[in-house]
Amino acid sequence: MVTIIKKSKRSIRANKVVLSASDAKKFLFQLEDKDLNIDDYIVFSADTQDEYIDVVGFFSPSFLPTQAYEGFDAHVVQKDIAKDRRMRQTGATITAIENFKVKIQKLLMKMTDFYDDFTIQLSVTTEYNIDSFVITIIFPFSEAKMRFTYAYDLQMLDASIVPMNVEKDIPALVLANITKKVNALFNKQRYYYKKKVENNAKTEN
């Protein structure tokens, strides 16, 4: 778990926000300038060093630089950084990926060619890594999970099903249909985000 200090700019008041690494990334990314006008947000500690590095390394140094806080080195969120410049990786932002998540949920609900209410019960989660993100589709009536790993330019890196013998609970045709629809959704937008990454690389050079 990651501890974020929310420190008032107008008083000595300070609160702790404790989140998982993935939720901490979403929380920090979604901060608005109006939030940062009122409070400072400091990534202060984590359960492990790797977890701390995972969170601070996800963001660009301009958005989350190292600064001293109460005698300790910490990372303090900076205001006036546009959301498409906050992540270390360019391409799809957390906002865009969360929108994809909603679209996937809607796609699954429309797949009424099997199990009637089956798809309505499916849940979709997101997990953000420094170089990739993971979309996980969870089947509520079994231990099955489908995991799709993408780079931020929407190139698919991996697709897996856990456990491997999941076909005994879920027909292979259903799994193939879900995979096809998820990939089609990302492929429609991949050219845009690929060009965005390429253009950003040219600007930096």
Nearest alpha-carbon partner for 118 in 75, 177, 58, 189: 177
pLDDT at 168: 59
58: left (phi over 0), alpha (psi -120 to 50) or beta: alpha
Report d(CA 103, CA 186) in Å as an integer.
10
Interval 71-80 mean pLDDT: 90
Interval 61-73 mean pLDDT: 89
Alpha helices in 45-146 (DSSP H): 49-56, 94-110
Question: What percent of the chain is predicted at pLDDT more than 90?
Answer: 48
CB-side neighbour CA atoms (13 Å) of 66: 6
Other Cβ atoms closer than 10 A to 151: 18
Asked if residue 37 has pLDDT above 90, the reply is yes
Of the two residues 90 and 196, the one the predictor is more confident about is: 90
pLDDT at 175: 79
Of the two residues 190 and 170, the one the predictor is more confident about is: 190
Nearest alpha-carbon partner for 59 in 75, 37, 80, 39: 75
Q: Which amino acid is at 120?
A: I
Q: Tell how many helices (H) and how many strands (E) occur in the chain.
A: 5, 9
Asked if residue 127 has pLDDT above 90, the reply is yes
Asked if residue 5 has pLDDT above 90, the reply is yes
The DSSP annotation for 7-73 comes to EESSSS-EEEEEE-HHHHHHHHHT--HHHHHHEEEEEEEESSHHHHHHHHTTB-TTTS-EEEETTEE
pLDDT at 57: 95
Asked if residue 27 has pLDDT above 90, the reply is yes
pLDDT at 166: 59
Residues 135/140/141/144 CA torsion (nearest 10 deg) = 20
Of the two residues 154 and 200, the one the predictor is more confident about is: 154
Interval 51-80 mean pLDDT: 92
Query: Could you give phi then psi for residue 74, rounded to 5 degrees?
Result: -140, -175
> pLDDT category, 32, cuts 50, 70, 90?
very high
Report d(CA 81, CA 20) in Å as an integer.
23
Q: In which residue are the tokens 């409070």 written?
A: 39
Asked if residue 74 has pLDDT above 70, the reply is yes
pLDDT at 75: 94
